[in-house]
Structure 1
Amino acid sequence: MATMTAVRADLQAHTVSVEEVPVPTPGPGEIRIAVKAAGVCLSDVHLVEGTISPLFLDGHVVTLGHEVAGVVDALGPDTHGPEVGSRVLLQGGHRTREGRVLTRGVDYDGGYADYAVARAETVVPIPDSLPFEQAAIIPDAISTPWAAVRTTAHVHAGEAVGVWGLGGLGTHAVQLLRMSGAAPIIAVDPIEAARDRAVALGADAVASPDEAPEVIARLAPAGLDAAFDFAGVGPVRTQALRALGVHGRLVVVGLAGKGFEIESDTAFACKGQAVLGHYGSEGKHVLELVHLLEHQRLDFSTSVTQTFPLDQAPEVIDRLERKEGNPIRFVLIP
């Protein structure tokens, strides 16, 4: 039996290990790819530590990785899709006929491996001009903030917005909001290097959490039209809610597994404000981003902070948890 290297997370023991496992065989309607790049996401950290839990995983061990790109290696029986040898990325998951949303690398095996199997409809061709490392991070690191901006918040040109948390998702949100015409864009993060990066990528102003109320009051005196929480931190949500104007909406993207309070239901109701939950993205968002990148409307060449061999995944996950190097995205190369 042919074997491959895979990075497996034991969600009961909260451990990550590099193992040799059988190479998966694609079934009907499935495609196998040889993985060329896999993005390391903070969600992987949260999954391992138990902050988030899979809803539909069969068992308690899974191959991590929901940001994946590579080359088509084999098609399952009666499967139509990109030809063997095609350059592709994989959608971050899929919706079942029963309406369940399954996430790759969470509810079933992902792409921290030499090979990965995907349903044919989740395999997206990519142009030769798009490097695998950049293509891999489109599902989630880029598509999640894009979906939050475009579909959940419905940001329009000229709207004042705030972005809290300038890691992988928040940094891309700044770029996408800039492209969408939001103004001003105020980016908030406690790390100075992250704030400096946000300015370089299109933020109109940056602030530490302590400075944020004064900066927002000065640049958006009527309050924010939209605020995005990419940090998953309680005080962030409290501060963002206070910064909203009439009909302002808070979009909660960062996951903490905890609740939060609306300080005044009267003010919240009278201003017609909203709190909107957001998780992941749909296939259309990934396709839109590939199209925009192909036509050079976006540039994410600086998004890959560093690449590592696949067998260093446990150390890379630890580095991401500690935010060592102020990363946008670390990428594993099998």
Structure 2
Amino acid sequence: MDRMLAARLHVPSRTLRMEEVPRPRPAAGEVLVKVEAAGVCLSDVHLIDGTLTPALLPGDTVTLGHEVAGTVHEAGEGVTRWSPGQRVVLYAGENRDGATWTRGVDYDGGWAQYALSSADALTALPDTIPFEQGAIIPDAVSTPWGAVTGTGAVRPAEAVGVWGAGGLGVHAVQLLRAVGACPVIAVDPSPVARERALAAGADLALDPAGPGLGAQVRAATGGAGLAAAFDFAGVPAVREQALSVLAPRGRLVLVGLTDRPLSVTDSTRFSYLQQQILGHYGSDMAVALPQLLRLVQGGRLDFSASVSGVLPLAEAGRAVEMLAKKEGDPVRLILRP
């Protein structure tokens, strides 16, 4: 039986191992994809450090990687849409038994030489878009896209704040500018991240620990406050700060994941101003991926600056370490089998 290299997480011990495993064969309705690029996300780091735990994984070990692009290697029985050699981007998850399963969390992902996908859980990648950029779209771009256009329902000329200008937040800045939000205010403790946010289109970039953040937000919004605020950091202090500068009827959208409690310090003020807190997770891949790929192909969006480095698959552990320690302040690191 053919073998392949895969980066496997043993969940009980939180141990990431490079292993040779059998290369999967596509069943009826499935496609086997030769992986050309796979993104390394902070969620992968959190799976390894124990902050996140798979909810639906049937066993105790999983191949990580939910951001995957490659070429079709083999189509299973009954699959007519896909044929060997086609360039594709895999969805970051699939619906199974009435639940959403996340690739690389609840079932084997793309930190491997080959990855399986349902035939209806991938989309064509245009020839003009490099694999490295295509790979990051299913999460690093589509998640903030869903948060901005869906959960947050941002409208043109609305004042918006983004807390955390990392792998998802910096894309949120770019996407908010694309949909016409104004002003777009980024908040991040890292000077490098703030500069990155300005380069991505933020009108203002603030240090959350700096003096007078509230006054600066009020000045930038004509005293109105933010119509929408997005927490991409998953930090309780961020949520409290964002609520403090939210306008009446403003929305706080929680995108960053955390196991810490959610609290509202002044619930009377929150209710009086009729504000909202909305949870967000992922995106509708069937809608988001084609939309974003069209925008990239049409020159409306460019994510080339988001690829901070490319490492061999065998160095997955090193990539995780670099992201966890923010070495070089990466947006996205890519593994290439």
Shorter-chain TM-score tier? over 0.9
Equivalent residue number for residue 312 of structure 1? 315
Percent of matched pairs sharing the same residue: 50
Give the number of equivalent residue pairs: 333
Structure 2 Cα separation of the partners of residues 328 and 57 of structure 1: 28
- Give 1:1-334 correspondences, 5 Å limit: 1-96=1-96, 98-211=97-210, 212-220=213-221, 221-283=223-285, 284-334=287-337
Separation in 2 of the partners of 1:298 and 1:48?
Answer: 32
Distance 1:210 1:41 in 2: 26
Letter in 2 for 1:258: R
Query: What is the rounded CA distance, in whole Å, between the counterparts of 1:276 and 1:100 in structure 2?
Result: 20
User: Structure 1 residues 72-81 or 151-160, which shifts more?
Assistant: 72-81
C-alpha separation in 2, matches of 1:312 and 1:270: 52
CA distance in 1, matches of 2:219, 2:261: 30
Report the residue type matching 1:323 in the other structure. Answer: K
Residue by residue over 1:247-284, the C-alpha shift from the partner in whole angstroms, topping out at 9 and shown as x without a partner, is 10000000111112111221111111000000111121
Q: 1:42 touches 1:321 (CA, 8 Å); kept in 2?
A: yes
Of residues 29-38 and 256-265 in structure 1, the stretch that sits farther from structure 2 once superposed is 256-265
Deviations 1:172-219 (A, max 9, x none): 000000001000111000000110111111000001002332321221
Give the AA of the match of 2:220.
L
Cα drift, residue 34 of structure 1: 0.4
Question: What TM-score results when the alignment is normalised by the length of structure 2?
Answer: 0.97
Alignment RMSD, CA only? 0.8
CA-to-aligned-CA distance 1:112-139 (integer Å, 9 cap, x gap): 0000000000111011000000000000
The alpha-carbon deviation at position 48 of structure 1 amounts to: 1.2
Please give the per-residue CA displacement for 1:59-88, whole angstroms capped at 9, x wherever unaligned: 111000000000000001112222210000
**CA contact under 8 A between 1:58 and 1:107: conserved in structure 2?**
yes
Q: Distance in 1 between matches of 2:98 and 2:217?
A: 40
Secondary structure (helix, strand or coil) at the match of 1:141 reads: helix
1: CA distance between counterparts of 2:14 and 2:125?
A: 35
Counterpart CA distance in 2 for 1:318 and 1:264 is 39
Q: Which AA in structure 2 matches 1:139?
A: P
Q: Which moved more, 1:213-222 or 1:165-174?
A: 213-222
Name the amino acid aligned to 2:278: L
1:130 aligns to what SS in structure 2? Answer: coil
Q: In the aligned structure 1, how far is the partner of 2:325 from the partner of 2:258?
A: 16
SS of the counterpart of 2:84?
A: coil
Paired residues of 1:29 and 1:80 also in contact (CA < 8 A):
no
Measured after TM superposition, the shift of residue 293 of structure 1 is 1.1
Distance 1:139 1:267 in 2: 37
Contact 1:160 1:184 in 2 (8 A): yes
